[in-house]
Amino acid sequence: MELKEEYFNTEFLEREFFKKLIKRMDPNSKDFKVVEKSYEFAYEKHLGQKRLSGENYINHPLRTALNILDLNLDYETISGAILHDILEDTNVSYEELKDIFGENIAFLVDGVTKITSIKYQNKSIAELQKLSRFIIYFLDDIRVVFIKLADRLDNMRTLNFLDEEKRKKVAQETKEIYLPLSQKLGIFSWAGEFDELCFKYLEPENYDFIKSLVEEKLKKGEDYLRNLIDRISKKLIENKINPVNIEYRVKRISSIWKKFLKKNSNIDHVYDILAIRIIVKSIEECYLVLGILHQMFNPIFEEFDDYIAFPKPNGYQSLHTTLFDENGEIIEIQIRTEKMHIYNEIGAAAYFAYAEFKNTKEYRKGGTFLISDKEMKIVEKLRKWQEIENPKEFLKILKEEFFQDKILVFTPKGDIVELPIGSTPVDFAYKIHTEIGNHCVGAKVNNKIVPLNTELKTGDVVEIIVNKNKYPSQDWLYFVKTYQARKHIKNFIKRNISKELTEVIFEFENKENSKLLYPKIIQKISDENIYIYESNFKDKGDVSFLKLVLKGDIERIKDLISKINSKFNLKGKIL
């Protein structure tokens, strides 16, 4: 959350930074010397510059680098974080930076600079193309994204120094781009803070309301949790389980608000405001601990989640159980291994922290192949999307499939399929195979026949009914959710129906008349039993256009256009 006073003091930050750095690497090593040189260079170049808070500008790169240190990332990423504003806010050139610090660090800084220049709320083609370049940097070196997230986190923590309009603009951008990106990469410690700060600045009244509701619970709850942790710890040791750590955490205000809404605005039904986290050495111990807890307390089975057997789409793993104690108090407990805990906190960045990679050439390059299979799937999706030439289509897909929450459904054989929220059996069918989608005629969800436009939910078992003599319907485009499904449906229709279609355009010189005439033209075409395959109405300056794709005899369509032009005094023609 917002920073303590000492974090605006350069001397304090410098001490904290080098204290943490020395814990990470040998002060006599080449890596340490590069980071030290980066700081000295940045300090000199930013000397005299101030932030809106009135503090020295160098404080911001230092705090950004401290965020990177929390992810246990390598010396190049740390240096890149310290230098991330050099190209944008000083007269240092890319070539100069490359000559001094090498190509890798210069690439990271240049990547962050280019990402920073993107105006996400500007929907112009130029800005959308810049967003495409953001993805290119993601593909080439994911560390660019880590630095940008660390930079944005510090900016969100100091957002109170901006005026209200700018605060809301930055918070909205963070909510749309950086929050889902940090969630997708599994950096939950940052994602949670992004979510909290966005909620605070975008919905201040709701934030203050929830904060006041839970403050009393928090005062009572923390003493209760300390005693409970002591009891659980003794019981585990009795059963020869020595946990790595047992700690409690307080649920963030933004998360409580979401649960509050789900529980019909009843704060007493939000059970996990306070929770205990138990970290053990192995998966076997996770389930042993679960059994011991269920012997000690009464579990609420509908509140149990096994994210070890069924991880979340972003790779999160843990056991979640909610229990009644002997006094009727309700407490949520999370159980996980140490490796799961590291991944759950810092996600994809964890792969850069593992010791076995430290001395490899690939580690120093920061290549995306150090990421797990789950993150690799994300990267492969992004690679495919880079082939999309239309920037607006690219942005739409990016928001739908990358920055959107997911559901997990199952095939009848038990295989897990990941889809965006709102997906239908048709999306599922195309996810399995193009031909299954193309010949899909029906679906069973949990053994019940359902319409093809049914929205799927996590845990559903989906079975597709196919018929080789049936083909995609134009109507499917109105309800499918995924780019993959839309693309295959459109491709099939183009290949098989386009020869029978005729494109027609009508021009309206008077916008007011166009709104009156539009339904009359549509009705006239329908009366002639000519099928309207597609309809698109647009304004361009003072003129309006109605573009139609019609299916029917070409001579009848020509005759119909002539009649409409004559009756309504229009300029309609076949394209």
| Catalytic residue IDs | 88-89
Q: Give the DSSP H or E segment for 279.
A: strand 274-280
Which amino acid is present at 180? P
The Cβ of residue 447 has, within 10 Å, a number of other Cβ atoms equal to: 8
Beta strand 274-280 with 330-337 is parallel
From 379, 381, 384, select the one nearest 369 (Cα to Cα).
Answer: 379
Burial class (CB within 10 angstroms; exposed 0-12, middle 13-18, buried 19+) of 436: middle
From 201, 143, 124, 208, select the one nearest 169 (Cα to Cα).
Answer: 201
Residues in the chain: 575
Q: How many helices (H) and strands (E) are present in the chain, helices listed first? A: 25, 15
The DSSP code for 400 is I
Q: Give the DSSP H or E segment for 504.
A: strand 501-508
Cβ atoms 574, 561 nearer than 8 A: yes
| Cα-based torsion angle of the residue sequence 279, 284, 286, 287 in order, rounded to the nearest 10 degrees | -170
| DSSP per-residue letters across 412-438 | TT--EEEEETT--HHHHHHHH-HHHHH
Rg of the Cα atoms in the chain = 29
In the three-class reduction of DSSP (H, G, I as helix; E, B as strand; rest coil), residue 471 is classed as coil
Give percent helix, percent strand, percent coil of the chain, each to the nearest 5.
60, 15, 25
CA distance 293 to 235: 9
